[in-house]
């Protein structure tokens, strides 16, 4: 029996309330993380494996315990090669360096602009080198999301780099049943939009589509939006009430109750299956639609969205070619899914070959029952979408401030434990050197 420790915040069948998901940040700031992490669980959940979930980041001091209890550490990852993530990447690296078991990376990515500039990553090259070296000391290769990340790691001198995409797209194995159910989108179409709330160019797109499509729904993914729905209050008093982006409760998406937030992938997927079209800047918001069989279109605003869209041949357009006149009906008309569908089987074969070389079996092989996972999902009662009318499960501002303060204290406590541990290790080394001198 293969004992797998998966980098994931929780078991896919552990039902938590939206409030708990917010308080414990079980979405890792973005609910799209759960899509690829839970997909990885399904793919690896064979009859010969047991899977435990170790959270987003395992403390380095626990490496010894992990070595004793598990046979492999599997890490589904996202855009980890970005400056803002460097402190966490260092901590993850220290943990890996303490492991004696194999480490398998399922799709790590670099983050840059859509022109794939690498200069912005230069300040963290030493950190990335140390991470990749730690992985390759415990694995035959490292799996990356796409072309940019492959080019980046090869520029740092690494050769054992394989492009494998993201496990989310292989939730159904080599099948990807997407089809246009309407000849064209009209004003009555059920359109879903996803928005990265820091991409200001999406503001005019949001407002124009609110006017054009009465059945438009916004599916939010960021932790702050979940907090807005639960608390019913804004990020702060300086939030502009006329901001076209949905970052305040006075936005039409909130006041017209057209916003949804899912803390589990499965209700999200079920609801998107009833949509006619999904589009926007969130790569996993659109991948979730594709997994539900619904046509989707990616508006690529950075390299992480672009390289995945290119690798999987998902219909996409650069944000530089998007403006207020861009219409979902136009995107729907030009979207061609033939290459995405016809090439999916080969991409899946690449992915499972990668797993095999790293000593992992998958649930889509002969003799396994991948539908067992789906049946268990269907039998589990997950919380529905949090909406502007259904939010209010958390008391107002005081509770919200308490939760944020509690989260900050927890993070600070963990950082202090790491500092104390580092101090103890340094002291032991110094004592060791002193003892050797005294001899």
- Whether residue 399 is predicted with pLDDT greater than 80 in this model: the reply is no
Secondary structure letter of residue 85 according to DSSP: G
CA dist., res. 48 & res. 50, Å (int): 7
Cα 407 to Cα 20, 24, 26, 392: the distances in Å are 12, 7, 12, 20
Question: pLDDT per residue over 8-43, tens digit each?
Answer: 999 999 999 999 999 999 999 999 999 999 999 999
Neighbours of 117 (CB within 10 A): 11
* Residue pointed to by tokens 């803002």: 84
User: Widest CA span of the chain, in angstroms?
Assistant: 85
Question: pLDDT per residue over 145-204, tens digit each?
Answer: 999 999 999 999 999 999 999 999 999 999 998 999 999 999 999 999 999 999 999 999
- Whether residue 118 is predicted with pLDDT greater than 70 in this model: the reply is yes
Q: Supply the mean pLDDT for the chain.
A: 91
The runs of H, that is alpha helices, within 292-396 are 303-312, 328-334, 338-342, 344-357, 371-379
Q: Indicate the SS3 state at residue 4.
A: strand
Question: pLDDT per residue over 42-92, tens digit each?
Answer: 999 999 999 999 999 889 999 999 999 999 999 999 999 999 999 999 999
Question: Does the structural domain 2-172+343-384 have CATH classification 3.40.50?
Answer: yes
Q: Indicate the SS3 state at residue 99.
A: coil
CA dist., res. 129 & res. 135, Å (int): 10
CA dist., res. 11 & res. 349, Å (int): 26
Question: pLDDT per residue over 217-232, tens digit each?
Answer: 999 999 999 999 998 8
According to DSSP, the β-strands at 386-387 and 259-261 are: antiparallel
């Amino acid at each position: 029996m293969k004992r797998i420790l998966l980098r994931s915040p929780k078991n896919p069948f552990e039902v938590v309330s939206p409030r708990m998901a917010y308080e414990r940040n079980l979405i890792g700031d973005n609910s799209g993380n759960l899509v690829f992490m839970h997909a990885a669980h399904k793919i690896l959940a064979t009859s010969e494996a047991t899977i435990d979930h170790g959270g987003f980041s395992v403390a380095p001091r626990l490496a010894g315990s992990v070595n004793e209890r598990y046979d492999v550490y599997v890490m589904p990852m996202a855009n980890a090669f970005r400056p803002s993530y460097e402190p966490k990447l260092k901590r993850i690296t220290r943990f890996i360096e303490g492991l004696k078991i194999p480490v398998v990376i399922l799709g790590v990515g670099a983050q840059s602009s859509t022109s794939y500039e690498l200069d912005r990553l230069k300040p963290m090259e030493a950190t990335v080198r140390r991470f990749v070296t730690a992985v390759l000391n415990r694995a035959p290769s490292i799996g990356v999301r796409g072309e940019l990340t492959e080019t980046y790691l090869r520029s740092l001198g690494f050769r054992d780099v394989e492009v494998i995409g993201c496990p989310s797209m292989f939730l159904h194995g080599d099948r990807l049943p997407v089809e246009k159910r309407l000849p064209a989108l009209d004003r009555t179409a059920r359109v879903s939009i996803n928005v990265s709330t820091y991409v200001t160019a999406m503001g005019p797109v949001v407002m124009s589509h609110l006017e054009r499509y009465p059945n438009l729904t916004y599916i939010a993914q960021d932790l702050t939006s979940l907090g807005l729905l639960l608390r019913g209050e804004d990020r702060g008093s300086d939030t502009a009430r006329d901001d076209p982006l949905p970052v305040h409760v006075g936005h039409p998406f909130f006041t017209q109750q057209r916003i949804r937030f899912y803390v589990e992938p499965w209700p999200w997927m079920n609801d998107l299956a009833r949509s006619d079209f999904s589009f926007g800047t969130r790569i996993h918001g659109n991948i979730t639609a594709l997994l539900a069989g619904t046509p989707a279109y990616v508006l690529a605003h950075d390299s992480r969205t672009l390289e995945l869209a290119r690798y999987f041949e998902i219909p996409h357009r650069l944000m530089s070619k998007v403006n207020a006149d861009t219409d979902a009906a136009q995107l729907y008309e030009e979207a061609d899914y033939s290459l995405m569908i016809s090439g999916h089987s080969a991409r899946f074969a690449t992915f499972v070959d990668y797993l095999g070389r790293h000593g992992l079996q998958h649930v889509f092989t002969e003799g396994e029952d991948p539908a067992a996972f789906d049946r268990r999902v269907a039998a589990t009662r997950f919380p529905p979408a949090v909406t502007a009318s259904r939010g209010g499960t958390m008391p107002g501002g005081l509770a919200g401030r308490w939760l944020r303060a509690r989260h900050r204290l927890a993070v600070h406590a963990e950082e202090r434990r790491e500092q104390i541990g580092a101090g103890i290790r340094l002291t032991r080394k110094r004592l060791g050197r002193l003892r050797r001198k005294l001899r």
